[in-house]
């Protein structure tokens, strides 16, 4: 296995849902080393929206890994509020299969500026991936406007 610090010119990070869950999310949860660190660990609650760089290019799509924050210490609901607004789920979760076995789920969320139940809908979309084996597992998400 090579140790990557970059990829050759012309390669772009456009992972499929299967690759994100089966390779990247599994490694992140297991705290295993990932050759090329394309998925940063962040604290979603304290993070403002913005674009990020992979290599020399400006991107408006962003991949990161974050631990879920509980809304109430004893509950199961997830806190998706941030300083500037909140993330609200939209549509149905999508099942992610690898060779016909369910390996994970993808939740789609929209960012609203302000505080629930008010707040102004933005163009930011987040896909939150989770392993199907453990509902309370940490999640990995991609954001794009």
Footprint on this chain of its own copies (rule: CB under 8 A)? 2-16, 19-20, 23-24, 34-36, 38
Residue among 16 and 90 whose Cβ is closer to its own copies: 16
Q: If we measure between CA atoms, which residue out of 21, 45, 10 comes closest to residue 127?
A: 21
Residue among 80 and 106 whose Cβ is closer to its own copies: 106
- Least distance between its own copies and beta carbon 129 (Å): 13
Residue among 18 and 119 whose Cβ is closer to its own copies: 18
DSSP string, 38-57: -SEE--GGG-----EEETTE
Which residues contact residue 70 at a Cβ distance below 8 angstroms, ignoring those fewer than 6 apart? Answer: 76, 77, 78, 79
Residue among 54 and 125 whose Cβ is closer to its own copies: 54
Residue among 20 and 29 whose Cβ is closer to its own copies: 20
109: left (phi over 0), alpha (psi -120 to 50) or beta: beta
How far apart are alpha carbons 30 and 53 in whole angstroms? 25
- Least distance between its own copies and beta carbon 63 (Å): 9
- Least distance between its own copies and beta carbon 28 (Å): 13
Under 8 Å between Cβ of 145 and 125: yes
- Least distance between its own copies and beta carbon 42 (Å): 18
* Residue recorded with tokens 């993070």: 47
- Least distance between its own copies and beta carbon 96 (Å): 14
């Amino acid at each position: 296995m090579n140790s990557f610090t970059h990829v050759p010119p012309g390669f772009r990070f456009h992972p499929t849902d299967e690759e994100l869950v089966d390779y990247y999310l599994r490694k992140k949860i297991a705290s295993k080393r990932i050759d090329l660190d394309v998925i940063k660990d962040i604290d979603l609650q304290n993070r403002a929206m913005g674009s990020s760089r992979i290599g020399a290019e400006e991107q408006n799509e962003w991949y990161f890994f974050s631990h879920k924050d509980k809304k109430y210490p004893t509950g199961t609901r997830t806190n998706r509020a941030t300083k500037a607004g909140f993330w609200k789920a939209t549509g149905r979760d999508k099942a992610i299969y690898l060779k016909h076995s369910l390996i994970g789920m993808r939740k789609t969320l929209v960012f609203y500026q302000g505080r629930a139940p008010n707040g102004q809908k933005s163009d930011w979309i987040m896909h939150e991936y989770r392993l199907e084996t453990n509902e309370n597992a940490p999640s990995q998400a991609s954001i794009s406007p």
